Amino acid sequence: MTNLNEKVVLITGASSGIGEAAARELAAAGARLFVGARRGERLAALADELGSNVGWRTLDVTDSADFDAFVDAAEARFGRVDALVNNAGVMPLSPLAALKRDEWKRMVDVNIHGVLNGIAAVLPRFIAQKNGHVVNVASVGAHLVVPTGAVYCGTKYAVWAISEGLRQEHDEIRSTVISPGVTDTELGHDITDPQVAGALEGWRRKSLRPDAIARAIRFALEQPDGVDVNEIVVRPTAADM
Ligand code: NDP
């Protein structure tokens, strides 16, 4: 039995990559899960595979009403909510001079407002129950900036700051930042600049598998009340990113 046994954990962006791996890892640890993303068919298949302790609902994290309804649905299914893993994110990298304003906006909407919408959806409950844990998936890009990553890294610096603010403002609510290095997932499949897409292929030559990040998420979540893992940075051995 772990501290995760029977805990109700919500995961965004569970239709692929790190979120999907986190669902597998946390389900194996005995957590009850409610997973969200836009691609419902993938969530349904994952929930089918993992069994009756896993519920799902489509979710667009940029829509605050949809996020509220997602948390309500989780509570209706399992009777409570103990933790939220704000994992959904997008990374259409490009140089600033390409002026890809729509992509900048999408990154800000998903990576920052998505996290804030999640915090807003759970915080009143966590305050009322004097307990709760928010795990925000940031990035090594919350600590360093690379060319083509100005906006993406900007969103992840923001996630780091928001997480730290949440941590400082509450005595009974835990806040954790998970900062992955390069991990082999679907992230960046929406890069529209062919040169940047090629560079990403190069970075991915040395990459983690998503289960490495899932184990870090599990470690933070399974600590007892009173132990707040503030941040875990996980990179491939000896990698810069
Ligand atoms: P993936 O692209 O595999 O997964 C991203 C997930 O986010 C998908 O499940 C996607 O689901 C979901 N998502 C995107 N937009 C929305 C939205 N509007 N509403 C709800 N869900 C959404 O990438 P990763 O697993 O790598 O990404 C997970 C997190 O890890 C991200 O925050 C990313 O920034 C971070 N990260 C990843 C690194 C890496 O190298 N892979 C490195 C550092 C950080 P759907 O499309 O079905 O909605």
> Residues 176-187: pLDDT tens digits?
999 999 999 999
Tokens representing residue 118 in the block: 């999640």
**Which band of pLDDT confidence, cut at 50, 70 and 90, is reported for residue 88?**
very high
Per-residue confidence (pLDDT) for residue 3, from 0 to 100: 82
Residues acting as catalytic residues: 152
Per-residue confidence (pLDDT) for residue 169, from 0 to 100: 98
**98 CB-near residues (< 8 Å, 6+ apart):** 193
Q: Distances in Å between the alpha carbon of 194 and those of 104, 147, 187, 190, 191?
A: 17, 15, 15, 11, 8
Q: How large is the average pLDDT for residues 128-153?
A: 98
Per-residue confidence (pLDDT) for residue 210, from 0 to 100: 98
Q: How large is the average pLDDT for residues 103-119?
A: 98
209 lines ligand 1 (CB under 6 A): no
Per-residue confidence (pLDDT) for residue 190, from 0 to 100: 94
88 Cα: distance to centroid of ligand 1 (angstroms)? 4
Rounded percentage of the chain residues whose pLDDT exceeds 90? 97
Tokens representing residue 240 in the block: 């810069």
Per-residue confidence (pLDDT) for residue 212, from 0 to 100: 98
Q: How large is the average pLDDT for residues 73-93?
A: 98
Integer-rounded Cα Rg, in Å, for the chain is 17
Q: Which residue among 38, 70, 106, 107 is best mutated to probe the pocket of ligand 1, counting the most ligand atoms within 8 A of its Cβ? A: 38
156 Cα: distance to centroid of ligand 1 (angstroms)? 13
Whether residue 146 has pLDDT greater than 80:
yes
Q: The whole model's pTM is what?
A: 0.98
Whether residue 224 has pLDDT greater than 60:
yes
pLDDT digits (tens, 9 = 90+) for 205-221: 999 999 999 999 999 99
Q: What is the rounded distance in angstroms from the CA atom of residue 127 to the CA atom of residue 172? A: 8
Whether residue 237 has pLDDT greater than 90:
yes
Q: Please, are residues 142 and 189 in contact by the beta-carbon 8 Å criterion?
A: no
Whether residue 233 has pLDDT greater than 70:
yes
60 lines ligand 1 (CB under 6 A): yes
Q: Which residue has the higher pLDDT, 237 or 2?
A: 237
- Which CATH fold would you assign to the domain 8-234? Rossmann fold (3.40.50)
Q: Which residue among 185, 201, 232 is best mutated to probe the pocket of ligand 1, counting the most ligand atoms within 8 A of its Cβ? A: 185
Q: What is the residue with the minimal CA distance to atom 10 of ligand 1?
A: 13
Q: Which amino acid is at 224?
A: P
Per-residue confidence (pLDDT) for residue 181, from 0 to 100: 98
Q: Which residue has the higher pLDDT, 52 or 3?
A: 52
3-state secondary structure of 205: coil
Rounded percentage of the chain residues whose pLDDT exceeds 70? 99
Q: How large is the average pLDDT for residues 97-112?
A: 98
Q: What is the mean pLDDT of the chain?
A: 97
Ligand 1 atom with the shortest distance to the CA of 181: 42
